Amino acid sequence: MISVTRAEVCAVACAELFRDAGEIMVSPMTTIVQIGARLARLTFSPDIVLSDGEARLIADTPAIGAPAAIEGWMPFGRVFE
């Protein structure tokens, strides 16, 4: 039997939140949510627009801690325009 950690279950649960969400901006602030959002983008929701959790949109889906290609600038104030 395969053992699954609580963190893995939480990451998949976060990914499921974005299933078939279409083109939405996701700004994950914690590691588990970052993993979930990136998992969703790589598997069943490729139209997700990811931020780095601060003010930049990332073009690719890098591993946590790896450098990301920057696609655009999205400071907090512009989110509500």
Which pTM was predicted? 0.87
Tens of pLDDT, residue by residue over 32-78, are 999 999 999 999 999 999 998 888 999 999 999 999 999 999 887 77
Quickly list DSSP for 18-61: TTT--S-EE---SHHHHHHHHHHHHHT-TT-EEE-SSSEEESS-
